[in-house]
A and B are shown apart, each in its own frame.
Chain A
Amino acid sequence: MTPNALFWLTFGPYLAAAIVSLTADAVFRRESSAGTISAALLLGAGGVVGLVGGWMSSSGILHGVLVVGGAHSTVSGLIGILAAASLLSVSGAQRVRLAQGAPLVALASFGAGLSASTNDLVMLLIALEIVAVCAYALVVLSRDKRSAEAGLKYYIQGAIATGLFVLGLAVIVPFAGGSLTYAMAGQVVSSLAPATPGLVAVLLIVAALLLKAGAAPFHWWAPDVYETAPPFASAFLAGAVKLGVITAVGTLVYVGVPIESTITLAGDSLRGNVAVVLAVFAVMSIVIGSFGALAQSSYARMLGYAGIAQVGYALVALAAMNPTASIVLIATYAVAATVTFSAVGVFAVLRPRWDGSVSGLAGMGRAHPVLGVSVSLALVSLAGIPPLVGFWGKFQAFGAAILAALSLEGAQGGLLALMYWALIATAVLGSIVSLAYYGSVIRALFFDSESEVVIEVNPVDNPSDVKRATVVIASLAALLTLAGAMPFVFGLAVALQGFLLRL
């Protein structure tokens, strides 16, 4: 397959999905799910092409600004699949919002996939704006006061992010000679003398991207958004969108930060400076995310904070200059997050009086074993326990940081090595804490018994959409399990092949 064909066979269906569902929304009645289903099928089809194409790795650069093959296509494909899953997992009252939600999800998938498949800063800005505009609308679909508040927060923070990004670009543009590819930007920044303006530009662009990814300290919008948006929208925003943004950051680091013979903390070493900046954000994200999640009683809010910590782990790998590890980690997170957030909608239908708390899930796993086991598998994967796929992400990320720490020698490197060991210690601590909050959900699902009489929807008269949602969630959980077993059969190199950055 040529790069051109691979690109359009992946992204074409995403655009088609947006158009089809938009038309269906105009033509059919609100309750009809024809538009949504066809959008989901298109997204899924494009996604599978991207995923397979990424592994086959017929890579190449397209029109100078787009890259296909390897992680770029794998991630774009995964985004479509996760978007389809989040659309299909909709049940109950959310359905009314879905007809308007589907085109937004499809268009945002296009944007998120694009952000993972570009090597140009302007293109990245455009892609992220496509995502952002759709995301604001998705958040306020619930149409209550809290989601309006969350949407406004999200909008303001997003606007700030765009502003920072443009400001960062403004430093680079005068020296870039018309081209703003990652490689050119990296050259400009590392050749600027004095170095300070270049570093400010890096800081601004990194901050803008991390704001989009929901890393601490730019995380204020994240728990609110994930808690109040309709569950399918939270699932999409927390999983697929985050995956796109982190892949973009990974590509930027991979291409834009030139390889230096020695990484140092000296002022003119771009690699060293970027590593320090990312490490600081990583530590903050892990600490704030982990302990924030520990303090939550609301299920979705807890997952929101947990997502901040997960971005932190990805940043650990990035700080160690290993983008592949960070993309693997965030990809495993994205699939599991789609499961855990989609489940919110199903829980709400099965237990109408559920207050959204973790303790309110008591006994849910025993009453609905397939759903309970699927969500538990996703949580175990998120905690990074083998043999689920989340473990491989954690393994890669920890491995990247340890490799970086071990390979540094000498006085200047000694300080940097110390920083990496501190990163590793934080990540270990965070992963131990994570088991406490993920485990508390599993405990509630299976061990706790309901304290009050809860009106449970009888499994026999489950509406068909709950069944469909359960099947989707269970398939994603099966994907987590099978992908986790893949390295056993094919070896780790083959399993990681689809996540290599190819440029």
Chain B
Amino acid sequence: MLLLDMLILLPLAFAPLAWVSSRLNHRWPRFFALAGVICQGAALAVVASSVTSAGSVVRGAIFAGGSTIWMTVMDGLSLPFLVLAVAIGSLAVVASWNVTKAPGSHHALLLILQGALAAVFLADSLVLFYIAWESVLIPMFFLIGGWGSSNSRRAAMKFLLFTFAGGAVLLVGVIVAIIQTGSLLISEISAAGGVTTPVMVFWLLAAGFLVKLPVVPLHTWLPDAHTEAPTAGSIVLAGVLLKMGGYGLIRVAVPFAPEGFEGARVALAILGVVGIIWGAATALVQSDLKRLVAYSSVAHMGFVALAIAVGTAASVSAAVVTMVSHGIVAGLLFFLVGALYERAHTREISSFGGLGVVAPRWSVVFVIASLASAGLPGLSGFPGEYVTLIEGFRAFSWWIVPAGVGVVLAAAYNLRAIAGTVQGTRGSSSGILDLSTRETSVSAACVVAIVVLGVAPHIVSSTVVPVIISLFPGMNGGL
């Protein structure tokens, strides 16, 4: 279907328009950006209708004749990530609605990012996957460095070097996989049972994915990048970029090297649990609200690593649910923190207080997002992490308890954030304006998504599970 390739090409086509239009009017780029994301969403809606039935796939068709590099495919596993990418992309555009510094370049970079991200989740050719994976780097590097806060240049370089280092190792893994299997297609290699040296290939591939996810100790780029990035950058980083790591593990690393994965499960689980506790404990002591959200990402992504390590159909689909949930929740939280920073020009938790009275709409959304992040039943954060813990107990028995401690810590840091901002006495925050209509409406859409995903997580897991069962060999799929 040609429309599938349009998911990648449409945002890329709008990027130069956004850039050029800024020469005429500085307001136009944001409309082009929004139009680009909406067109991408519309194309996705059309394509998605043919994927929702279990087990069906849609293949791209644009260069179908001669090329072996540009091969795209969409199945039940790509779909949730693509929906997330489009949703987060529109949130990012709205968050940067009033950007004044070079809006043309800013929105063009956002659109390039959208195209590259879509390519990551759509690629069936391993080479295209790697190209898309690396193409995300440069626009994000420019977004962080060009529009970030005071220390952003260092953070941008750190982001670039860490993720590129992971990517260089990933490239070796990709080439080894191509040479050993003689195929370029991810689906073919998975179906053929993967490579001949699974342990080496698994760790080569995983190195790239784990840096992006990230797991402790490869996470140190994340707090800096998230904190220093402009709001739109933080939203896309936390909302979609981190999910590339989890997607890569599920789509590429595990099916390519099943035996390697078997041997690596314990190590992966330990990395996950360490991430959960490290991220949560570090978030607990942050004084900067944005940094707090950044470290909470490390904890949530630890859950994703743990869920993948458990390796049952239920736990891996829980990993996807956690990723989608965290994408929306963290995206929303960065959006809210960004909105607050725009008004108060500070992110110190101690300088806020009493926002519940001053900015009630902001407060309601913030409380819901924080509670979702803390894993309150009924909100999107709960089902994924809950299933992970249950399945984890079945796989690793009592060794899973430390992860449970992480859940308690998550409640602690989120409640602390709520207490420090929404509750308390009105400090210097009395003059802060509440969310505008534009901001309220996108926040409300996110809240709806959080509640729906919390109540009915099967809308994600039901499309994902059939694919996961086919990707994880030896999995009986007992749900």
Partners in one complex: yes
Flag A435-446 by CB within 8 Å of B: 1 or 0 each: 110011011001
Q: Which residues of A contact B137 (CB under 8 A)?
A: 385
- Interface flags, B173-207, vs A, CB<8A=1, else 0: 00110111000000000000000000000000000
Which stretch in A194-202, A264-272, A424-432 binds the other chain? A424-432
Q: Is the CB of A490 within 8 A of B168?
A: no
Whether, in the assembled complex, B31 has its beta carbon less than 8 Å from a beta carbon of chain A, the answer is: no
A447–B156 touching, CB < 8 Å:
yes
Q: How close is A411's CB to chain B, nearest CB, in angstroms?
A: 18
Contact B135–A447 (Cβ < 8 Å): no
At the interface, yes or no: A402 with Cβ under 8 Å from chain B? yes
Known: A424-B172, A448-B153. A432 touches B131 (CB 8 A): no
Say which one of A2-10, A119-127, A391-399 lies at the interface with B. Answer: A391-399
What are the residues of chain B within 8 A of A26 when measuring CB–CB?
Answer: none
Tell whether, in the assembled complex, residue A488 and residue B69 are in contact, meaning their CB atoms are under 8 Å apart. yes
Q: Which residues of B contact A488 (CB under 8 A)?
A: 63, 67, 69-70, 128
Q: Check B175–A402 contact: CB distance below 8 A.
A: yes
B179 engages A391 (CB within 8 Å): no
Chain A residues in 8 Å Cβ range of B180: 406
Contact A395 B175 (CB under 8 A): yes
Instruction: Please give, as numbers and ranges, the residues of chain A lying within 8 Å of B179 by CB-CB distance.
Output: 399, 402-403, 406
Shortest distance from the beta carbon of B134 to any chain A beta carbon, whole Å: 5
How far is the CB of A400 from the nearest CB of chain B, in Å?
10
B160 touches A435 (CB 8 A): yes
Do residues B145 and A447 form an inter-chain contact, with CB atoms below 8 A?
yes
- The reply to whether A399 and B175 contact each other, CB–CB distance below 8 Å, is yes
Task: Give bound CA distance, A471 to B255, whole Å.
Answer: 48
Q: How far is the CA of A304 from the CA of B169 in the complex (A)?
A: 26
Please determine whether B176 and A487 come into contact, CB atoms closer than 8 angstroms. no
A383 to B141, CA, bound (A): 14
A370-403 interface with B by 8 A CB criterion: 380, 383, 385-387, 391, 394-395, 398-399, 402-403
What B residues does A386 contact at CB under 8 A? 130-131, 134-135
Contact, CB under 8 Å: B67 / A491: yes
Q: Is B16 an interface residue (CB 8 A)?
A: no
Rounded to whole angstroms, the CA-CA distance of A446 and B175 in the bound complex is 34
Q: Which of A387, A440, A446 contacts B131 (CB 8 A)?
A: A387
Does B131 contact A391, Cβ atoms closer than 8 Å? yes
CB-based nearest B residue for A402: B175
Q: Give the distance to chain B from A495, nearest Cβ to Cβ, in Å.
A: 9
Cα–Cα, bound, A380→B137 (Å): 11
A474 shortest CB reach to chain B, Å: 14
Q: A395 to B138, alpha carbons, bound, how many Å?
A: 18
B residues near A387, Cβ cutoff 8 Å: 131, 135
| B350 close to chain A: CB less than 8 A | no
Q: Nearest Cβ in chain A — how far from B23, in angstroms?
A: 11
Check B67 against A446 for contact (C-beta < 8 Å). no
For B127, B131, B145, the residue with the greatest tally of chain A CB atoms inside 10 Å of its CB is: B131
B134 in contact with A431 (CB, 8 Å): no
- With the chains together, A112 CA to B147 CA distance in Å? 45
Residues of B near A490 (CB, < 8 A) are 66-67
Residues of B near A443 (CB, < 8 A) are 145, 153, 156-157
CB distance from A368 to the nearest CB of B (A): 14
Contacts of B127 in A (CB 8 A): 395, 492
A173 within 8 A of B: no
Partner of B68 from A391, A432, A436, A492 at Cβ < 8 Å? A492
Q: Which of B22-69 contact A (CB under 8 A)?
A: 63, 66-69
Known: A488-B63, A490-B67. A431 touches B168 (CB 8 A): yes
**Which of B69, B161, B172 contacts A492, CB < 8 Å?**
B69
Main secondary structure of the interface of B (DSSP, over half): helix
Given contacts A391-B134, A490-B67, contact A432 B176 (CB under 8 A): no
Q: Which residues of B contact A428 (CB under 8 A)?
A: 168-169, 171-172
B residues 136-154 near A (Cβ < 8 Å) are 137-138, 141-142, 145-146, 152-153
- Asked if A385 and B161 sit within 8 Å, CB to CB, the answer is no
Whether the pair B161, A436 counts as a contact (CB closer than 8 A) is yes
Are the C-beta atoms of A385 and B138 separated by less than 8 Å? yes
Q: Which residue of A lies closest to B132 (CB)?
A: A386
Residue of A nearest to B180 (CB): A406
Given A398-B175, A428-B172: A487 in contact with B69 (beta carbons within 8 A): yes
Q: Is B165 located at the chain interface by the 8 A CB criterion?
A: yes
Bound-state CA distance A399–B164 (Å) is 18
Q: How far is the CB of A1 from chain B (nearest CB, A)?
A: 24
Once bound together, how far apart are the Cα atoms of A406 and B181, in whole Å?
12
Tell me, rounded to whole Å, the shortest Cβ–Cβ distance linking A103 to chain B. Answer: 40
- Contact yes or no, B130 A446, CB < 8 A: no
Chain A residues, CB < 8 A from B138 = 380, 385
Q: Is the CB of A406 within 8 A of B63?
A: no
A398→B131 contact, CB < 8 A:
no
Contact with A along B390-428 (1 / 0, CB 8 A): 000000000000000000000000000000000000000
**B107-149 toward A: CB 8 Å interface, digit per residue (1/0)?**
0000000000000000000011011001101100110011000
Residue of B nearest to A487 (CB): B69
Indicate if the CB atoms of B66 and A491 lie closer than 8 Å: yes
A181 to chain B, nearest CB (A): 33
Q: How far apart are the CA atoms of A380 and B141 in the complex, in Å?
A: 12
Known: A443-B156, A492-B69. A435 touches B175 (CB 8 A): no
Tell me the nearest residue of chain B to A490, going by C-beta: B66
- CB-CB nearest in chain B for A386: B131
A399 to B145, CA, bound (A): 33
With CB as the reference atom, state the residue of chain B lying closest to A444: B153
A295 adjacent to chain B (CB < 8 Å): no
Quick one: which of A380, A446, A491 contacts B146, CB cutoff 8 A? Answer: A446
Q: Which residues of B contact A440 (CB under 8 A)?
A: 157
Q: Give, as a whole number of angstroms, the nearest-CB distance from A491 to chain B.
A: 5
Question: How distant is B142 from chain A, measured CB to nearest CB, in Å?
Answer: 7
Q: Is A494 an interface residue (CB 8 A)?
A: yes
Task: State whether B66 touches A494 (Cβ < 8 A).
Answer: yes
A435 contacts B63, C-beta separation under 8 Å:
no
**Inter-chain contact B172/A489, CB cutoff 8 Å:** no
CA of A395 to CA of B176, assembled, Å: 12
Q: Contacts A395-B175, A424-B172 hold; do A489 and B63 have CB atoms under 8 A apart?
A: yes
Q: Return chain B residues, CB-CB under 8 Å to A402.
A: 172, 175-176, 179
Closest chain B residue to A495, Cβ basis: B69
Contacts of A442 in B (CB 8 A): 141
Contact call A439/B161, Cβ cutoff below 8 A: yes
Determine how close the nearest CB of chain B comes to the CB of A364; give it in whole angstroms. Answer: 14
In angstroms, Cα B176 to Cα A489, docked, is: 24
What is the CA–CA distance of A391 and B146 in the complex, to the nearest angstrom? Answer: 24
Rounded to whole Å, the gap between the CB of A151 and the closest CB of chain B is: 36
Instruction: Name the A residues within 8 Å of B70 (CB-CB).
Output: 488-489
Q: Which residue of chain A has the shortest Cβ distance to B171 in the bound complex? A: A398
The residue of chain A having its C-beta at the shortest distance from the C-beta of B125 within the complex is: A488
Nearest-Cβ distance from residue A58 to partner chain B, whole angstroms: 22
What is the bound-complex CA distance between A491 and B127, given in angstroms? Answer: 11
| A443 CA / B159 CA spacing, docked (Å) | 13
Residues in B with CB closer than 8 Å to A431 are 168
- Min CB gap B417→A, angstroms: 31
Given contacts A406-B176, A424-B172, 6 further A-B pairs with CB under 8 A are: A380-B138, A386-B130, A406-B179, A488-B67, A488-B128, A491-B68
Pairs A-B, 6 closest by C-beta atoms: A386-B131, A447-B145, A491-B67, A432-B165, A488-B70, A447-B153
Report 25 cross-chain contacts, Cβ distance below 8 Å, ordered by A residue. Answer: A383-B164, A385-B134, A385-B137, A385-B138, A386-B130, A386-B131, A386-B134, A386-B135, A387-B135, A391-B131, A398-B172, A399-B175, A402-B172, A402-B175, A406-B179, A406-B180, A447-B145, A447-B153, A447-B156, A487-B67, A487-B69, A488-B63, A489-B70, A490-B66, A491-B67
- Which residues on B are within 8 Å of A, measured CB to CB? 63, 66-70, 127-128, 130-131, 134-135, 137-138, 141-142, 145-146, 152-153, 156-157, 160-161, 164-165, 168-169, 171-172, 175-176, 178-180
